[in-house]
Amino acid sequence: MAAHPGARGTARPATHHPHPATADRPTVLTGATVVLPTGAVENGRLAVDGTRITAAAPENAQVIDVSGHYVVPGFVDLHNHGGGGASFTSGSVDDILKGIHTHRLHGTTTLVASTVTGSMDSLARRAGLLSELAEQGEIAGIHFEGPFISPCRKGAHSEELLRDPDPAEVRKLIDAARGRARMVTLATELPGGLDSVRLLADHGVIAAVGHTDATYEQTVEAIDAGATVATHLFNAMPPLGHRSPGPITALLEDERITVELINDGTHLHPAALQLAFHHAGAHRVAFITDAMDAAGFGDGRYWLGPLEVEVADGVARLVADGTIAGSTLTLDRAFQRAVTVDGLSVEDAVAALSATPARLLGMADTIGSLEPGKSADLVILDSAYELKGVMRRGEWVVGPQLG
């Protein structure tokens, strides 16, 4: 979500080191509970050589004892607008890299950069800049959240800039992203909505139902047209009703849909999260941050385009009316809360934070699980699920803190 260049917070951002040094020789982690696709393995062993996980440890490998810890795959965030005081929508390249690095410090090794509602020209320009960062491997692609959303469920988006999802304009954004558009959130009940879903599906871009006032029947139509994601399920859509089940029921019941959940304790009651897991299962749930600039930065005043936001006690709300305005969540905290508050198993938390979003992005052959040949993206957590190390592509972003 866009922040004014003058955004301020009370905490300092993390030091920006976008390119940490590669380990000087292969590494073997031993003694930890290693969470694999087949389950958690106690007293496990994980070998890394260069940028990849390997099946066997090379002879000259350094051995690091991580007993009493968990080793899990690096986290994958499908929906993230910024962090560290920086915005993916309005910041410079250096600002964007600072925001990306902030989230890497919290275990997010793969990130899709999300925009927020703006003019078509400004979004096209932003898409061009973000596509360059995608080409460099800094981000996994671009998610356009708005402007094709319902004014009835606009959340923290500028109503004056909203528009119906004209397929020609949707195509303009896809073209501006130069093959790096990953997802577009739209209210599919609006004029042009279903045709836009079909256009996105034809171009290999995820059509996400969100910021929508659709009925149950309209949502079913959107799914049949090719929509495959629910943008932050429950938020910015009609509530579930026993006579008007609305989009939530349609999105939960259909196996073709992956549902995003913001597990920060503000956007969702734990019972709502449990409802989603019960009906969709971990293989269809993707935890996201929906983070704005204050993530990893601090409380204070920020701007979302023309909308002023107050972040207090880590909760972002519009100054004008108190509407929740994104989150300050990082995925390490989403993981910890999932296990300690929501009662999920470590394996289910790993699926929702890594495997499921990786599969949705079509990247499951390289990321999302700890398997030989895949990218050496991993997170070390202690017994209380506090982050103690992050490796991305064989490089320590956060060196093991085991003392």
Q: Which residues are catalytic?
A: 290
Q: How far is CA 189 from CA 210, 213, 240, in A?
A: 10, 7, 17
Quote the CA–CA distance of 221 and 244 in Å, as a whole number: 16
Closest CA to 6 of 325, 320, 312, 301: 301
Residue 290: partners with Cβ closer than 8 Å, 6 or more residues away = 79, 80, 81, 114, 232, 260, 262, 267, 326, 327, 329
Closest CA to 306 of 159, 158, 146: 158
- Provide the 8-state DSSP code for 282: G
In degrees, to the nearest 5, what angle opens at C-alpha 378 toward C-alphas 374 and 381? Answer: 155
Q: Which two tokens stand for residue 239?
A: 């509530």
Pinpoint the alpha helices (H) of 300-355: 331-340, 346-350
CA torsion through residues 125, 126, 127, 130, sign: positive
The whole-angstrom separation of Cα 133 and Cα 298 is 26
Q: Collapsing DSSP states into helix, strand and coil, what is residue 14?
A: coil
- Name residue, tokens 């073709």: 256
* CA atoms lying within 13 Å on the CB side of residue 381: 27
